[in-house]
């Protein structure tokens, strides 16, 4: 396995160290990161190492840098670049470190295609599915709550496979893509999915999530097996320990998706109509030799929240009564 190498060079020592520490602390990064604040130390390092990306302050850029073996030079700018280097790739340095990482990863994706850097593989992460044949039962809120609860102890990723998702409100304005882009990238180059994944992932209260679809028609033709293949590939990366899948309408075969899940939570309501729908689901599974999948199902009656503001609910749902429900259900299943 080959890891990439990212070098940061900026005479602002506090900035350089903060950015290096932030990137180094992110799990699953496809490169090692080191930082320098003095030119002589940088040059000594560059003489002995092949660098994938040099992230250099635009004020420090000079012709001597071009003599070293560096695949990609990216300027850290404050909005200004001298005319000699205007054709170089650049990143605005005074934005969030998360946005800087996303842009660096986009550049790294391009390098990967030529250099053959591969993702780090490890023990398979647990894939936990959430599905319900009952509408308005709290499925998405429970899914996010479970993800937030799990993220307190595990590196956790949440994916929403519905046609529409309220999580779009929480996506970063500088997104490098959404779920459709990740699937497209996976089809083109499965071995590089870890790079694209980290480039697009967002976070809400400690829970990483992939930005939901902008246009669900983009993925209507994606086969369930392709979703399953992408999920199992993500699960094998050294990035996450738990993956929560909110199984929705863009999945054509829900049972095929459940196959890859270690367990499947089934939110429901207590009224007769809802119970009848769940009973129909169970009968269908038994009549089609899917008893092994039925054994994975764990029914959950999700409590209702007092607030009518769905966005307020999502932001803090892991600390609500639904979060308490998720804690109890997961603890009992462990």
Does residue 175 have a pLDDT over 70? no
First to last CA, the chain: 34
Go through 52-65 and write b for each residue having 16 or more CB atoms within 10 A of its CB, e for each that does not. bbbbbbbbbbeeeb
Q: Which residue has the higher pLDDT, 258 or 170?
A: 258
Rounded to 10 degrees, the C-alpha dihedral 119/122/123/124 comes to 0
Q: What percent of the chain has pLDDT over 90?
A: 55
Does residue 314 have a pLDDT over 90? no
Tell me the CA distances in angstroms from 299 to 149, 159, 183, one per residue in order: 18, 20, 30
Residue in the structure block whose two tokens are 């029914």 = 299
Residue 324 sits at the vertex; the CA angle it makes with 322 and 325, to the nearest 5 degrees, is: 60
β-bridge mates for residue 133, sequence order: none
Does residue 319 have a pLDDT over 90? no
Query: How many Cβ atoms from other residues are within 10 Å of residue 309's Cβ?
Result: 9
Which pLDDT value is given to residue 1? 36
Alpha-carbon distance 240 to 183, whole Å? 18
Which pLDDT value is given to residue 73? 96
Does residue 206 have a pLDDT over 60? yes
Tell me the CA distances in angstroms from 56 to 59, 62, 92, 104, 130, one per residue in order: 8, 10, 11, 12, 44
Which pLDDT value is given to residue 119? 53
Does residue 110 have a pLDDT over 90? no
Alpha-carbon distance 17 to 11, whole Å? 10
Alpha-carbon distance 136 to 304, whole Å? 10
Average pLDDT of every residue of the chain: 87
Does residue 281 have a pLDDT over 90? yes
Does residue 272 have a pLDDT over 80? yes
Yes or no: say if 134 and 270 are a contact pair by the CB < 8 Å rule.
Answer: no
Yes or no: say if 193 and 182 are a contact pair by the CB < 8 Å rule.
Answer: yes
Yes or no: say if 91 and 100 are a contact pair by the CB < 8 Å rule.
Answer: yes
Residue 60 sits at the vertex; the CA angle it makes with 55 and 66, to the nearest 5 degrees, is: 70
CA atoms 209, 214, 217, 219: torsion sign: negative
Yes or no: say if 201 and 157 are a contact pair by the CB < 8 Å rule.
Answer: yes
Which pLDDT value is given to residue 171? 66
Judged by average pLDDT, the poorest of 19-33, 295-309, 317-331 is 295-309
Query: How many Cβ atoms from other residues are within 10 Å of residue 204's Cβ?
Result: 21
Judged by average pLDDT, the poorest of 35-49, 109-123, 124-138, 152-166 is 109-123
Rounded to two decimals, the pTM is 0.75
Confidence of residue 31 (pLDDT cuts 50, 70, 90): confident
Average pLDDT over residues 156-176: 77
Tell me the CA distances in angstroms from 158 to 14, 36, 110, one per residue in order: 33, 35, 26
Judged by average pLDDT, the poorest of 50-54, 175-179, 250-254 is 175-179
Which pLDDT value is given to residue 307? 56
Phi and psi (nearest 5°) for 90? Answer: -145, 155
Yes or no: say if 186 and 197 are a contact pair by the CB < 8 Å rule.
Answer: no
């Amino acid at each position: 396995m080959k890891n990439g190498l990212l070098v940061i060079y900026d005479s602002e020592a506090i900035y350089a160290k903060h950015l290096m520490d932030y990137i180094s602390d992110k799990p699953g990064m496809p490169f090692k990161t080191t930082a320098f604040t003095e030119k002589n130390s940088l040059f000594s390092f560059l003489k002995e190492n092949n660098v994938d990306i040099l992230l250099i302050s635009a004020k420090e850029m000079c012709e001597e840098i071009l003599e070293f073996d560096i695949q990609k030079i990216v300027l850290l700018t404050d909005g200004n670049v001298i005319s000699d280097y205007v054709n170089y790739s650049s990143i605005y340095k005074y934005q969030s470190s998360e946005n800087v990482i996303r842009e660096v990863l986009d550049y790294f994706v391009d390098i990967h295609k030529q250099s053959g850097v591969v993702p780090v593989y490890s023990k398979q992460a647990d894939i936990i599915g959430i599905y319900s044949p009952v509408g308005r039962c709290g499925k998405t809120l429970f899914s996010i709550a479970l993800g937030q609860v799990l993220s307190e102890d595990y590196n956790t990723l949440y994916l929403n496979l519905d046609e529409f998702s309220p999580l779009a409100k929480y996506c970063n304005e500088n997104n490098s893509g959404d779920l459709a882009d990740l699937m497209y990238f996976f089809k083109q180059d499965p071995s590089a999915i870890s790079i694209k994944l980290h480039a697009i992932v967002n976070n809400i209260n400690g829970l990483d999530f992939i930005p939901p679809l902008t246009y669900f028609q983009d993925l209507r033709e994606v086969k369930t097996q392709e979703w399953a293949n992408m999920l199992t590939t993500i699960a094998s990366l050294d990035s996450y320990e738990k993956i929560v899948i909110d199984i929705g309408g863009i999945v054509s075969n829900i049972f095929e998706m459940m196959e890859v899940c270690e367990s499947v939570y089934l939110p429901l309501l207590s009224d007769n109509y809802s119970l009848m729908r769940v009973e129909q689901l169970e009968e269908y599974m038994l009549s089609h030799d899917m008893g092994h999948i039925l054994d994975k199902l764990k029914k959950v009656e999700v409590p209702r929240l007092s607030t009518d503001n769905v966005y307020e609910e999502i932001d803090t749902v892991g600390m609500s009564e639904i979060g308490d429900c998720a804690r109890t259900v997961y603890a009992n299943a462990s």
